[in-house]
Structure 1
Amino acid sequence: MKVRVPASTSNLGPGFDCIGLALRLYLTVEVSTEGPPSPGCDLVVQGLREAFRRVGRRPPPVSVRREEAIPEARGLGSSAAARIAGLMAGNLLLGEPFGREELLNMAAELEGHPDNAAPALFGGLVVAVRTESGVVLSRLDPPSDLSLALAVPDLRSDTSAARRLLPEQVPFVDAVYNVGRASLLVAALMKGDLSLLREATKDRLHQPYRESSVPGFGKVCEAALEAGACGAALSGA
């Protein structure tokens, strides 16, 4: 069987861990119960095994072949796409006992956050938050005239390392700053008012702490805005 899952950009500036947008880059995975089995460390295999674990069944050995168009470890949701591909393949092998919402909850648990998994499963722009009872989300179609330009560095980004750069607490004024801009971001995209994105993509929760780990990030953002971009932000992690 073949499964195709899109890449995603998360945060979009102020929407840390809760806002994501699907992209037209795809991971295509072919999963077969024939051929040499793929190792358990493969994220696709991990996703498939999780689907089987949820129904109390032992997963079969599977062979995984990838057609990879999503740069790995570059902040474009490659791990979420791989895990979701495995979950979807496992769901198909099981006869589809799970709906998309259930698959999203599984993916969010595996990932630790839903901001890449939600758009990868539902497409479009998604605001998703984790609650005690599962992920709650709202999806909308982004403006038709919105285009993205991706600056993909040679530097690989490790999610765990990137998160260790973040403080355990932030100033109250910075929290208020981000709440306002995250709200403005969603309103701007709902209305299609791209003129608001320059302000709406600003952030104080994660980008200032991670900027030093991405050489040239500030200069890239400045160049993008000078060239006419509506906004610029650090994607992922």
Structure 2
Amino acid sequence: MSMFSITVPASTANLGPGFDSAGLALNLYLTLHVEKSEHWEFVHESVHLPPAPDASEHLIYKTAERTANLYHSTLPPCKVIMESDIPLARGLGSSASAIIAGIELANQLCELSLSIEEKLRIATDIEGHPDNVAASLYGGLVITSQLPNGDIEVFKKTDAELDFIVYIPVVELKTEDARKVLPEQFTRNEAAKASAVGNVMIAALVSGNYELAGKMMEEDLFHEPYRSSLIPNYSEIREEAKIAGAFGTVISGAGPTMISFTSKGKGQEVAAQLQNLLSSHQVSVLKMDSDGSSVNLDVNNFKAFGI
């Protein structure tokens, strides 16, 4: 029997012009069931997960070990059974959810009593930017900024009356490959224009003006113009989703998945129309996850483990 389980939601990031700062938690989940064991072992029970590597090579274990080492603690051996709804390398935060799960694994096993701010700092150090990890940790729509002194500021909104339609192709796209096509620098004029688009998009999202938010999402200047050629059916999906009633459609994270925002209750209608046109994609309607990562303790087994 498990001592405890950890559940972490998927995420989408950027939302168009909110590059490396805007994220949204979605109701697809990575779940870990943690059991007492004589040695470390990971068991994968999902079509979305590859064969489990040796524990020492597993991202979740390496994250947990790194977290434990930060606090001069040692991880006790466990068997971890993993389930996941989150497809890998599709722009839905699979690595970010694994990082959050690894930090929480160390937090529970080593009794670190980490605050949510400490978890976010560790996750950001590992991931490189806070957008996906903050969404999976906090839940909801999050806007983040890492300041020069290292502090990370987070704004969270959970009352969005929206459906989200994702278009997931069969191909994978590694984040590092999607970053290679981006320019190293922007001129001051280019950066000002791109930031202005992002500012209006965020203001519209927060205020609930989703029609304006959708319009501005599709005006991104930071990354979508450079990545669009890497995304299957990019232009067709944006055009047809708009015709079907979506407010706006953008690349989810680094891609290749795309995501549409539409009014609550209209998602199935938009998804049905787009699925007819996209035989090579899985089209699904998702909701915002408002709660973020969570832990479910089996108190008796947890105490029996001696921690």
* Alpha-carbon distance, 1:213 to partner: 1.3
Q: Equivalent residue for 2:249?
A: 232
The structure with higher relative contact order (CA 8 Å, sep 6+) is 2
Q: Equivalent residue for 2:162?
A: 146
Whole-Å separation in 2 of the counterparts to 1:28 and 1:217: 31
Which letter does structure 2 place at the counterpart of 1:14?
P
Q: Percent identity?
A: 38
Q: Equivalent residue for 1:24?
A: 27
The structure-2 alpha-carbon separation of the partners of 1:225 and 1:110, relative to structure 1 and needing over 3 Å to count, comes to same
Q: Equivalent residue for 1:200?
A: 216
Which segment is superposed worse, 164-173 or 226-235? 164-173
- Aligned residue runs from structure 1 range 71-220, under 5 A: 71-131=87-147, 132-143=149-160, 145-201=161-217, 202-220=219-237
* Alpha-carbon distance, 1:31 to partner: 2.4
SS in 2 for 1:74: coil
Which letter does structure 1 place at the counterpart of 2:186?
V
Aligned partner (choices 7, 11, 16) of residue 13 of structure 1 = 16
The structure-2 alpha-carbon separation of the partners of 1:33 and 1:112, relative to structure 1 and needing over 3 Å to count, comes to farther
Structure 1 unaligned residues grouped into runs of 5+:
none
Which letter does structure 2 place at the counterpart of 1:11?
N
Q: Equivalent residue for 1:37?
A: 40
2:242–2:248 CA contact under 8 A, matched in 1: yes
Give the number of equivalent residue pairs: 236
Which letter does structure 1 place at the counterpart of 2:154?
L
Aligned partner (choices 64, 85, 101) of residue 69 of structure 1 = 85
Which letter does structure 2 place at the counterpart of 1:228?
G
Q: Equivalent residue for 1:222?
A: 239
SS in 2 for 1:176: helix
2:75–2:110 CA contact under 8 A, matched in 1: no
Whole-Å separation in 1 of the counterparts to 2:191 and 2:110: 44
Q: Equivalent residue for 2:70?
A: 54
* Alpha-carbon distance, 1:63 to partner: 2.3
SS in 2 for 1:21: strand
1:12–1:235 CA contact under 8 A, matched in 2: yes
Larger gyration radius, structure 1 or structure 2: 2
SS in 2 for 1:56: coil
Q: TM-score, normalised by structure 1?
A: 0.94
